[in-house]
Amino acid sequence: MAKELSQVELKRLARLGAVARLEQLEAERRAILRAFPGISLGAARGGEAAKGPGAPAAAPKKKARKRRKMTAAEKKATSDRMKKYWAARKQQG
């Protein structure tokens, strides 16, 4: 019969497997970067594109839209309007 593994042994083996997988992924990453030297992680994640021949120009960044704060009266009006809306929806079905 097979001996059951303890939690500690399971975690140790899982960690060894995770380390081995990370090494495989890193080797694959290096191979991809060798095959496509113009790419970088920043470009892949939407950051700055890699500079060099054939690299696309960076798009200008948009300004963050400022939201104005609602006044207490506006909040109350919205609350009353939504209460009325949901009451009507509840009565319909």
Q: What are the pLDDT digits (tens) for 11-40? A: 999 999 999 999 999 999 999 999 988 887
C-alpha 89/C-alpha 83 separation (Å) is 10
Summarize the confidence of residues 63-78 as an average pLDDT: 93
Q: How far apart are CA 49 and CA 39, in angstroms?
A: 8
The pLDDT of residue 63: 85
Residue 87 has pLDDT above 50, yes or no: yes
Instruction: Report whether 53 contacts 59 (CB < 8 A).
Output: no
pTM: predicted TM-score of the whole model, two decimal places: 0.40
